[in-house]
Each structure stands twice: as structure tokens, then as C-alpha cells.
Amino acid sequence: MIRISLLFRYLFKEVSIATSASFGVVCVILFYGNVVRNDEYFLQALFHSPESFFTLSGLLIPYAASYALPLGFVVGLLLSLGRMSADKEILAMRTVGLGVRTVLCPVVLLALLFSVLSVFLIGEWGPRSRALFDLRKTEIVFNSLDLILKRDGILTFYIPPAAEKENLEDSSGGLRSLMGPRVTRCGLAAGNVEGDVWRDLRLYFRDGSDRLVGVLSARSAKVRRDSVRGVLALDLVGIDLEGDFNSSSSGSVRRPSFVSFESWNEPLELPLNDRSSGTNLKRLGYSQLYQAYLDPSKEDQHLEIAMLLNKNLALGCSPICLSIMALPLSLRVSRRETMLNAGIAICVAMFYFFLVTFLPEALRGFSNFSPALWSWCPNALCLCLGAWMLAKPD
């Protein structure tokens, strides 16, 4: 019994060390990939303050860790047990009468611990931290708008199409009422951008064909930043507006006009990002997704929410499912190469992630097949294949 306990702790330690090292490497790779895709925001955060830079980095780590944990566990498992198999340690255990269960118990226990952590990371902490990351990006851009304007000379805002439903908040309604529905892009330049009052503003409005449809000049504007809604509000003063805004359709005769007035009765809101698609479901945790699923106003998104819930739960349970299949692969005495073990682990994990993502999307149009539940098919496949290989005699 003492020998079994010592062996259990030894196996647990070996797999834990290899998994931790593999998880760290994969997490760094995924984190670096996300940083490269958002390098401009990190540079702005570093320029703004070191605290903003480290806050942005810290919010991105849980998102990267949520996908690095299952992959790191499989790689670490094959590396550690593959090394023990190549060094004849597994053969020595079998020689003294210890079967596969001796290796299976610590591996399954560790896999269960990682599965619990992975379920929390993938479905709760990761999405919420990524949502805060996106919000923090918007705040950093808002706080750096004057610096960007000084550096580039112009700010560009993309105008989303009008909301189809009347109950949806439309930050660009005032802009479309001023210039018409054809406006898709707005460029902003200013002579003085010190503080919250910008002076000598000039706004250029373009349509979908990149044709200039209007120019607005303003003596000054009081600037307000709304990071929650993602808009820049301008209370304009001393306005001169020139363009063909009397024309409501592209086929009508264009009559360029010029109007001048002192102020407008509502602020001109320019969207920093396109929020026309509504809430990003991938940034919601389990409880928020469940509440969205019960919301009658989101009935058209029920399938997408169900697919996302099942996908997150299936990915969270992947360590225990993948370990059952990876264990017999790692115990093969003929497998001695470390890089071969790592390559097999990565291929198995990548194929698993591909199936979890591909199967529900491929069956999305077939409601009779319950596409949301097909996220669990790779887990069932791994369990069945692993159980067959474990039961198969050497």
C-alpha cells in the first residue's frame, strides 16, 4: 500500500509538471497571438500609462488560458507518460504486477481537476475578461483620441446601417437625419484638440461608393466620450454645412446646398465601433447566456445561444475525455521521440477542437439533428476510442 501511494504521488507529480510546462508554453503562444492582433491598443495603453498596459495584458491572460489549458494538458500527458514508457518505467510497473489502473488513477484525478478549472475558464472567466478587455480597449481609444488626431491629422468613423427594430439603440440616428441614409463613413479633423473643447472642426461624410456627399465645418465643439455606448458626442457650435443632403436617393437629381446655423438641438454622435450587431454572445458567461436564452426578445438567437453553451461545456470537459484517449497512446513502448509525442498530442487536440467547432456549424440548418448537442460528439468519440484501446490486449 505504501508503494502504491508513493507511485501515485510520483505519477501525479510527473504529469503535473509536464502539464504545467506545456500549459505555460501554449498560453504564451496564444497570448502573443492575441497581442499581435491588438498591438495598436497595447501601444496606446503603454503610451497612456504602464498601469493601463498591464491591466490590458491581465484581462487577456484568462482568455488565452481557457484554450491553452486543454491543449497543454494533452501535450503534457503524452510527454510525461511517453518519457516514462521510453525509459521502461511503465514496463517495470507491469513486471511487478501493477496494471494500467495504477497509471490511470492519478491521470483521471488530474484530468478531473483540470476539467473543472477548464469549464470555469472557458465558459465564465474567459468570456467576461475578454468583454472587459474590449471595453478597456474602447476606453483607451477614447482617452487617446486627441493624441491620435494630432498624430494622424484625421479620425475615421464607420457609420453602421440603421437598426431594423425600433427598440434598438441607434447612436447614428442623428447623423443620418442630418446627412441622409447614404452616409457610411465620416472623417473628423480639428485645428485645436486641447481639453474637452475642440476648435475649428471639419467633418467629411462619404457614402458606400466612397463619394464625398457633404462637409460640415464648426467653430467649436464640446466633446463627450461615452465608452459604454461606444460613441463620441459633439455639441457643435457655429455650423456650416455643405452637400447634397436634399437628395434622398442615389438616382435623384443632386442639388448641392449650403446652410449655416449657430448650434444643433442635439449632439452629433459618432460611433467608434460598429455595435449594430448587438451584444456579442461570445463575451457572456454561463448565467448571462442562460438569461439571454430565456429572454423572449432573443428568440431568433436561441439556437446560437444553445450551441455556444454546449460548445463551452464540451470544451471544458475536454481534459477528462482527451486523457482517456491520450493515455493508451502514451503507453506505447515503441514511442520514444519527445517531439513525436508532442506532435501527436497537438494533432489530436487540434482535430478535437475542429470537430467541436465544425459539427454544430455544419448541422446548423438541420434543426431535426439538434445541432447544439453535436458539440458533445467529439467527447463521446474520445471516450469510446480510449476505452477500446485501454481494453485492447497488448
Query: What backbone phi and psi angles, to 5 degrees, belong to 167?
Result: -85, -5
Residues 248 and 311 in one domain: no
Residues 254, 227 within the same domain? yes
Residue 177 CA to residue 42 CA, distance in Å, equals: 36
Question: Structural domain tally of the chain?
Answer: 2
Same domain, 179 and 288: no
Residue 148, in any domain of the structure: no
Q: Which of 256, 154, 164, 250 is nearest to 202 (CA)?
A: 154
Residues 127 and 9 in one domain: yes
* Residue 90 included in any domain: yes
**Calpha distance 348→221 (Å, rounded):** 58
* pLDDT, position 171: 47
Assess whether 319 and 339 both reside in one domain: yes
pLDDT attached to residue 28: 92
What residue type is assigned to position 65 of the chain?
A
**C-alpha grid cell, residue 111:** 484530468
Query: Is 384 a member of any domain?
Result: yes
Please indicate, yes or no, whether residues 234 and 313 belong to a single structural domain of this protein.
no
Neighbours of 161 (CB within 10 A): 12
What one-character-per-residue DSSP string does 97-151 give? T--HHHHHHHHHHHHHHHHHHHHHIIIIIHHHHHHHHHHHHHHHHHHTHHHHHHH
**CATH number of the structural domain spanning residue 223:** 2.60.450
Asked which of 224, 253, 271 is the last residue of a domain, the reply is 271
Q: What is the DSSP string of 341-372?
A: HHHHHHHHHHHHHHHHHHHHHHTTT-GGG-GG
Domain assignment of residue 276, yes or no: no
Looking at 248, 271, 294, which one is the last position of a domain?
Answer: 271
- Same domain (yes/no): 246, 319: no
Domain that holds residue 25: 2-143+281-391
* Predicted confidence pLDDT, tens digits, the chain (394 residues): 455 577 778 888 888 888 888 889 989 999 999 888 888 788 878 877 788 888 888 998 998 998 888 888 888 888 887 777 777 777 777 776 666 667 778 888 888 999 999 999 998 888 989 888 888 887 777 777 777 777 778 888 887 765 444 434 444 455 556 666 677 888 889 888 877 888 899 898 888 788 888 888 999 998 888 767 778 888 899 888 887 655 444 444 455 677 887 887 788 888 876 444 445 788 888 888 888 888 888 778 888 888 889 989 998 998 898 888 877 777 654 455 566 666 777 788 788 888 888 888 887 777 677 888 888 998 999 889 888 887 775 5
| Domain stops at, among 203, 236, 271 | 271
pLDDT of residue 178: 62
pLDDT of residue 339: 64
Residue 149 lies in a domain: no
C-alpha–C-alpha distance, residues 210 and 219, integer Å:
26
- What residues pair up with 72 in beta bridges, in sequence order? none
Question: Which grid coordinates are listed for 329?
Answer: 497512446
Task: Examine the domain organization and report whether 123 and 203 are in the same domain.
Answer: no
Pick the closest to residue 141 from 272, 335, 266, 279 (CA basis): 272
Confirm whether 156 is domain-assigned.
Answer: no
Judge whether 335 lies within some domain: yes
Asked whether residue 155 is domain-assigned, the answer is no
Burial class (CB in 10 A: 0-12, 13-18, 19+), 31: middle
Does 187 lie in the same domain as 288? no
CA 223 to chain centre: 31
Give the global pTM.
Answer: 0.71
* Residues 293, 167 share a domain: no
Quick one: 302 and 267 in the same domain? no
Which of 32, 231, 233, 37 lies closest to 138 in space, CA to CA?
231
Say if residue 286 is in the same domain as residue 267. Answer: no
What letter does residue 214 receive in the DSSP assignment?
Answer: E
